[in-house]
Amino acid sequence: MTIFPSKLYYRDAYRNWAQIFKIMAVLWLVLAMFMAIPWVVLLVENDPDAPAFGVSILIVLSATLTTWLLTRKVSLESWIHRISAALWITR
């Protein structure tokens, strides 16, 4: 008897949570779009807080990307390998 659950358990868990993660990704994206409106106003007014607000939008967009990648059937290790390979190419 093994301690670890079978692959079937993980596949069922993926099916249960994939739709929820997709909805979360869409909600993150909607939040980023609503945050972009005041950011543009801050940029037009040349407010010194505009870059910090832009960074917060980037954080929300990274949460969107992370949540969306969780819904993909590609393993996380594969995505890490792809990103590290892309970063290595750009050096």
pLDDT per position as a tens digit, 53-74: 899 999 998 988 888 877 776 5
pTM of the predicted protein model:
0.60
* 27 has a pLDDT exceeding 70: yes
Residue 85 CA, distance from chain mean position: 19
Torsion angle in degrees (nearest 10) through CA of 19, 74, 76, 35: -50
Cα separation, 86 vs 91, in Å, equals 9
Determine the Cα–Cα distance for residues 54 and 47; give it in Å rounded to an integer: 12
